[in-house]
Structure 1
Amino acid sequence: MALKPESTAPFHSVQYALRVLEAVSKHGGGVTDAQIARETGLPTVHLSSLLLMLHREGYVEQVTGGAYIVGDSLVLLGSGATRREALQAKLQQTLDHLRDSVGAAVYISRYIDGEIRVTEVADGPLTPAVNEWVDFRSAAHASAIGKCLLTQLDQNGRRDHLSRHKTARLTSKTITNERVLFSTLDSQPATVPMLDLQEYALGTVCAAVPLTAGSTVGCLALSLPVEHAHRLRAAADALNRRAAPMVLSLAL
């Protein structure tokens, strides 16, 4: 699998969060935000938002006097034999919460051994998952998940994938021209969610954002029925904000 050079770097916010967790872990009796700021060199404003996220996700806890200690999530994710089960439970819990907060089915997908794999899904009666009428592995050019994963590959990686999975026309909106597809992928800003506006299936709109931790190529995605398309932008922005905690779980 060929990655873009820059795609192997985790989000800056995740790098900063790891520095904060390292500082907290060194102080078993608790450490203040002022001390964390001194040890990490992070600006107070940036540190405050990170601590809020880490507290919300259970990575740190706040004790009497305002000091921070290691939280249950960090203890579980670092506990060897139970790490896999704890990570799975943490990801599913976060996905379930995200599903309920944005009112959409949500997914985690990874690019593994040259194929697209949807590894986690959170859906429900009011937030049904998209009907996989064409195998996602064969629809990278049309789905938000697939296009988001392809943006994280270099040109050779993309060509290799499309040599095995042709760009079939799934709807009238599907991009089937490889040159146009690659140009679209290259022009996609890294901080903007990738959208699928009925390119994969009529009646469904989707959004996806990268989940890049080390050499892992992945994405966080959501789907909505087209009658809720007016909510897609706000839901995609919420998806983007929630990506960092998931990358953090994968990076620990």
Structure 2
Amino acid sequence: MNSEPGPDVGAPTGPHGGVQSVDRALAVLEILARTGHAGVSEIAEELGIHKSTASRLLGSLVSREMVHQNSERGKYQLGFGILRLAGSIPGRLSLVREARPVLESLADEFKETVNLAVLRSNYAVNVDQAMGPATLATYDWVGSLTPLHATSSGKVLLAALTAADRDRILKETGLPARTPRTITSRKKLEHQLLNVVRNGYAMVHEEFEIGLTAVAVPVFNHVGLVIGALSISGPAFRFEPEAVPGAVETLKEAGLLTSAKMGYTRR
């Protein structure tokens, strides 16, 4: 017995039909982006529409070069039209611009210094900063080069590198002690980095500067690569992120929000 929906169940009707078609066309693109390729039947089944409707959607996307049909297997995949659209984005999304509201929100909520850092020339470079209204901090970290092994942002960036890139950088920079609490053992550092990946954040207690505690989370781009780190830092005597209910989770969500602004889709 035929279990497919009746004829043209998926066909748009009424005043909202056009919007429904757009929504379904975008859903088709998302399916192909996720799976790499799919046939008419697979797409129809996932969207819960008739095969004839899925075929019309694909035909329209093919005509716009958003989708390409592999002639050998009859499967569909994303087309070069997608690249044209992506290439039309002016330059690339500005991480600093997109992250700015998030930095300000975190600084206002936690009343501490919030920084955005990226990897540059073997160091974590702070490219933006926001300060809470009651913070005692007055130091401007923007433009500062900070060691990867001794800072929360640096550890987030280090943890995201391939083993080969991490090995190269650490051989070039070494693991100099900034304070008595700095991790200078490569074995201990690698263990910490595994925890960073597992937990989704990095924390340092007076490793970079005596009296300074910091916690950082990654920021991802549209293909899931770490392109930056969001951190909150404050005096050790009053700032203990793990002791504040929901603080680490709030920072993680802020990192994901910034990532979403850069095109990242949460897995």
Which structure's residues are more often helix, by fraction? 1
Length, aligned pairs only: 187
State the SS of the aligned residue for 2:218.
strand
* Letter in structure 2 aligned against 1:158: R
Matches for 1:164-243 after TM superposition, within 5 Å: 164-213=172-221, 214=223, 215-234=225-244, 235-243=247-255
Residues in 1 aligned to 2:138 and 2:215: alpha-carbon distance in whole angstroms: 12
Matches for 1:114-129 after TM superposition, within 5 Å: 114-124=122-132, 126-127=134-135
Residues 136-165 of structure 1: CA distance to partner in whole angstroms, max 9, x if unpaired? 645211111111111101221111111221
CA contact (8 A) 2:200 2:217 kept: yes
Residues 114-138 of structure 1: CA distance to partner in whole angstroms, max 9, x if unpaired? 44221221125523558589x9645
Residues 61-101 of structure 1: CA distance to partner in whole angstroms, max 9, x if unpaired? xxxxxxxxxxxxxxxxx99559757x644421221111101
Question: Compared with structure 1, are the counterparts of its residues 174 and 241 closer, same or farther at alpha carbon in structure 2 (3 Å cutoff)?
Answer: same
Residues in 2 aligned to 1:206 and 1:232: alpha-carbon distance in whole angstroms: 11
Larger Rg: 2
**Which blocks of at least 5 consecutive residues in structure 1 are unaligned?**
1-25, 43-77
Percent identity over the alignment? 23
Question: Compared with structure 1, are the counterparts of its residues 233 and 83 closer, same or farther at alpha carbon in structure 2 (3 Å cutoff)?
Answer: farther
Residues in 2 aligned to 1:154 and 1:205: alpha-carbon distance in whole angstroms: 27
Indicate the residue corresponding to 2:106 in structure 1: 98
2:259 aligned with 1:251? no
Indicate the residue corresponding to 1:27 in structure 2: 19
Displacement of 1:193 in angstroms is 2.1
RMSD: 3.7
State the SS of the aligned residue for 1:205.
strand
Residues in 2 aligned to 1:223 and 1:237: alpha-carbon distance in whole angstroms: 16
CA contact (8 A) 1:138 1:165 kept: no
CA contact (8 A) 2:216 2:232 kept: yes
Displacement of 1:233 in angstroms is 4.4
2:161 aligned with 1:153? yes
